Amino acid sequence: MRPSDVEAVLITGGLGVGKTSVSVALGDLLGAQGDAGCVVDLDWLCWAWSPTLDSSRIHRLLCDNVRAVMPRLLVEELSRVVLCRALLDDGQVEALRDAVGLPLRVVRLTTSRAEAERRLRQRDTGQTLRRHLAQLPSFALAVERTAADAIVVDTTERTPEDVAAEVLALLGWTSKSDR
């Protein structure tokens, strides 16, 4: 498979917008229409901690891991690559684009603050919940200022499957018979 046959998308957004849920639903839709692809939650490629790991080094770790993974995906002829993670500045987006080594489109998910809080309260507990609720406004603002070319999709009171179907259409990743 030629790299030009492969398309990648980054699903990004603030806390509680549904990045992972929508990415999984998007993967399900792609599989159902016969596209070979994968979903990679980028958080897992850089879930690390150390007194010496600041946010820039963690992002560098993420990008190094993406560089290692992408050639293997091409060997397996996975033509649709769905990545998800909140990226908080344009430098992070550009570093990820470079690491992916393919054209990377960006979809930024949004939701109302009340909906984000509701989702966080369902998902998180204890110290993590308190930290995420405190970070909610600054995270949302940082993500909003990032990737001006992003396709923006609101997830408020919508199912991940509904949002994924909209994203699929916006990307033009329709079924093979429509291409």
The string of DSSP codes covering 25-76 is HHHHHHHHTT--EEEEEGGGGS----TT--HHHHHHHHHHHHHHHHHHHHHT
**Which tokens is 160 given?**
């991940």
Give mean pLDDT, residues 15-41. Answer: 96
Give mean pLDDT, residues 140-168. Answer: 95
CA distance 42 to 110: 19
Give domain status of residue 179, yes or no.
no
Model pLDDT for residues 69-123, shown as the tens digit of each residue = 999 998 998 999 999 999 999 999 999 999 999 989 999 999 999 999 999 999 9
CATH code of the domain in which 159 resides: 3.40.50.300
pLDDT, residue 178, reads 46
Give domain status of residue 141, yes or no.
yes
Q: How many domains would you assign to the chain?
A: 1
Give domain status of residue 33, yes or no.
yes
Give domain status of residue 142, yes or no.
yes
Give mean pLDDT, residues 144-164. Answer: 95
Give domain status of residue 145, yes or no.
yes
Give domain status of residue 16, yes or no.
yes
**Which tokens is 51 given?**
């007194």
Give domain status of residue 178, yes or no.
no
Q: Are 109 and 153 a contacting pair, CB within 8 Å?
A: yes
pLDDT, residue 4, reads 60
pLDDT band at 174 (very low <50, low <70, confident <90, very high): confident
CA distance 72 to 61: 18
Domain that holds residue 59: 3-173
> For residue 150, which phi and psi values (nearest 5 degrees)?
-65, 145
Q: Are 113 and 136 a contacting pair, CB within 8 Å?
A: yes
Model pLDDT for residues 122-149, shown as the tens digit of each residue = 999 999 999 999 999 999 999 999 988 8
Q: Residue 56 pLDDT > 90, yes or no? A: yes
pLDDT band at 22 (very low <50, low <70, confident <90, very high): very high
* 103 SS3 class: coil
Other CB atoms within a 10 A radius of the CB of residue 15 amount to 23
* Cα 136–Cα 9–Cα 13 angle in degrees, nearest 5: 5
Q: Residue 3 pLDDT > 70, yes or no? A: no
Give domain status of residue 97, yes or no.
yes
pLDDT, residue 177, reads 44
Residue whose structure tokens are 């901690």: 49
pLDDT band at 179 (very low <50, low <70, confident <90, very high): very low
Q: Residue 173 pLDDT > 60, yes or no? A: yes
Dihedral of alpha carbons 59, 68, 76, 79, sign: positive
